[in-house]
């Protein structure tokens, strides 16, 4: 997941203005639009909320096997290059999630890209199908109902504790959005991306994907290798790993990151956790496991649990420089107030504008996965991981596969991605990334015929979100995207 605390308070770009709305059932109301024929050029116009950004739409079929049955209008935005005399084409980016709105984060990420990129490329992004302003999948799932589930069963051979909540979500999506939910997956989104390319009038595009966006980029390169000019995959997902393998890979990375946060939280740096932050944390976990905290109220009726503690913890180690917000929330929880923990945890389950991400996030995750472990298998895996990584490791099971224990089998699973014919690709991995560990970047780089792994030694999720000011990385990324070639694989910036 790409986490967005750094943009709290930023408004949307208004990319959905004038677009087809979504019914309360979650089914696309754009079904009445003409079926998608030849791709029309995007009719750009200034976005209502920010006239420096241009808004447009691209029509795509819901089902590419039956393209005349139903269509969705995708919300697309762009920031034009600063130097029109030296055009580099379009750099399309996806911020991850899965399910994050590219349009909402565009105003923030513009200045995080290296200056040479913003100078030469039109920066283009979009809300993928089922998200943001592109017919969002809304099954009625309350984010707090999912983040508050305990990550570890109390005893062996018991279901993952979140199974009832995830089952209710899956049933609601089948009931309320049967015509949309099965088609929200990465393969269809990659085909949508190619329609965006056509609507831009380009033979090839450059692409920058973060976190889940690296999975989207990999699938796009697999389907359309000749339409890729350059591609940066930052915070890489191990695209061919199973859900179980992803959980096993993430557990030690999340554990290492939280242990680092606690170890470096000392009184001299205004840490509120006292002389032994690790003991403070372990005591709070034990207390909250015995006695969950009261619901925050104001319409939120879910008790605050260890699930909130872990979700907020992963959020804290993903976003560096949070001014001890997590540590302060731990102190509040120790005093019986779980509200600050719930507030942080919800950052992982809502978009910049506050809209819920959970339904679309799990639709994409589970519709992509070839195999869905059952509730008991997931529960046993969580207990096994908890025995090795007791701080936060077991949360990786809920985080990577929780919603899939009850989700229908995938119709178009992502399997055996090996983008033959793709151009040289840059894969970036952080040594201290808690969400997409470095091992995933190592594996992803090997599936490309000319993949080059670049390592950034730093904490936090993805280089662009956690270390965009690093000039070593800026030079490598800029040189590659502007045609200067890839660095040797294994090149490291400290």
Do residues 328 and 384 both lie within one domain? yes
Do residues 429 and 396 both lie within one domain? no
pLDDT, tens only, 119-167: 999 999 999 999 999 999 999 999 999 999 999 999 999 999 999 999 9
CA–CA dist 85, 377 (Å, integer): 58
For 93, phi and psi rounded to 5 degrees? Answer: -130, 155
Do residues 125 and 12 both lie within one domain? yes
Under a CB-based contact definition with an 8 Å cutoff, are residues 398 and 151 in contact? yes
pLDDT, tens only, 94-117: 999 999 999 999 998 899 999 999
Angle, helices 243-263 vs 277-290, to 10°: value is: 130
36 falls in which pLDDT band (50, 70, 90)?
low
The tally of domains found in the chain comes to 2
- Percent over 90 (pLDDT), the chain: 85
Do residues 149 and 35 both lie within one domain? no
Do residues 189 and 263 both lie within one domain? no
User: Does the structure show a pLDDT above 80 at 321?
Assistant: no
pLDDT, tens only, 393-403: 999 999 999 99
- CATH no. for residue 445? 3.40.50.1820
pLDDT, tens only, 235-278: 999 999 999 999 999 999 999 999 999 999 877 677 899 889 99
User: Does the structure show a pLDDT above 50 at 339?
Assistant: yes
CA–CA dist 379, 164 (Å, integer): 13
Residue 349 lies in a domain: yes
Residue 187 lies in a domain: yes
**Of 361, 380, 405, which closes a domain?**
405
Do residues 94 and 157 both lie within one domain? no
Residue 375 lies in a domain: yes
Do residues 43 and 95 both lie within one domain? yes
Which residue range forms the structural domain that includes residue 363? 143-170+256-405
Do residues 305 and 352 both lie within one domain? yes
**Of 405, 429, 462, which closes a domain?**
405
Do residues 102 and 59 both lie within one domain? yes
**Two tokens at 471?**
């000039």
Do residues 22 and 49 both lie within one domain? yes
- Which residues are CB-contacts of 471 (< 8 A; sequence separation ≥ 6)? none
SS3 state at 123 = strand
**Of 374, 405, 436, which closes a domain?**
405
Do residues 190 and 76 both lie within one domain? yes
Do residues 191 and 291 both lie within one domain? no
């Amino acid at each position: 997941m790409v986490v967005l605390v750094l943009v709290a308070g930023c408004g949307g770009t208004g990319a959905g203005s004038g677009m087809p709305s979504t019914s309360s059932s979650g089914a696309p109301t754009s079904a009445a639009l003409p079926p998608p024929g030849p791709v029309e050029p995007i009719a750009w116009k200034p976005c209502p909320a920010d006239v420096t950004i241009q808004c447009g739409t691209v029509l795509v079929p819901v089902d590419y096997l039956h393209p005349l049955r139903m269509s969705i209008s995708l919300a697309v935005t762009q920031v034009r290059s600063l130097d029109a005399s030296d055009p580099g084409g379009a750099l399309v980016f996806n911020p991850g999630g899965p399910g994050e709105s590219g349009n909402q984060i565009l105003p923030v990420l513009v200045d995080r890209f290296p200056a040479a990129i913003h100078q030469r490329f039109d920066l283009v992004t979009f809300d993928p199908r089922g998200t943001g302003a592109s017919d969002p999948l809304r099954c009625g799932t309350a984010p707090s109902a999912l983040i508050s589930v305990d990550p570890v069963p109390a005893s062996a051979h018991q279901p993952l504790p979140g199974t009832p909540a995830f089952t209710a979500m899956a049933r609601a999506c089948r009931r309320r959005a049967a015509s949309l939910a099965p088609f929200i997956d990465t393969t269809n989104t990659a085909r949508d991306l190619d329609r965006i390319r056509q609507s831009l009038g380009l033979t090839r595009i450059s692409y920058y994907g973060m976190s889940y966006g690296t999975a989207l980029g990999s699938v796009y390169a697999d389907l359309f290798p000749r339409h890729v000019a350059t591609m940066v995959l930052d915070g890489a997902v191990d695209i061919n790993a199973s859900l179980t393998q992803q959980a096993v890979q993430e557990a030690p990375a999340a554990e290492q990151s939280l242990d680092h946060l606690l170890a470096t939280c000392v009184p001299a740096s205004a840490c509120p956790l006292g002389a032994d932050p690790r003991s403070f944390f372990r005591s709070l976990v034990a207390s909250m496991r015995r006695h969950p905290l009261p619901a925050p109220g104001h319409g939120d009726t879910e008790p605050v649990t260890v699930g909130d503690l872990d979700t907020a913890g992963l959020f804290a180690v993903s976003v560096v420089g949070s001014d001890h917000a997590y540590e302060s929330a731990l102190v509040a929880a120790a005093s019986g107030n779980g509200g600050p923990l719930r507030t942080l945890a919800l950052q992982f389950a809502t978009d910049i504008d506050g809209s819920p991400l959970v339904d679309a996030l799990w639709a994409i995750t589970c519709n992509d996965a070839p195999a869905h472990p059952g509730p008991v298998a997931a529960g046993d895996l969580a207990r096994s991981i908890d025995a090795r990584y007791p701080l936060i490791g077991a949360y990786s099971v809920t985080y990577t596969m929780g919603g899939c224990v009850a989700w229908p089998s995938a119709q178009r699973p992502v399997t055996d991605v090996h983008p033959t014919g793709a151009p040289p690709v840059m894969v970036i991995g952080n040594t201290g990334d808690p969400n997409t560990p470095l091992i995933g970047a190592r594996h992803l780089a090997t599936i490309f015929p000319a993949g080059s792994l670049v390592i950034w030694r730093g904490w936090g999720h993805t280089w662009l979100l956690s270390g965009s000011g690093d000039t070593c990385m800026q030079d490598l990324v800029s040189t590659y995207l502007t045609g200067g070639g890839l660095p040797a694989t294994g090149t490291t910036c400290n």
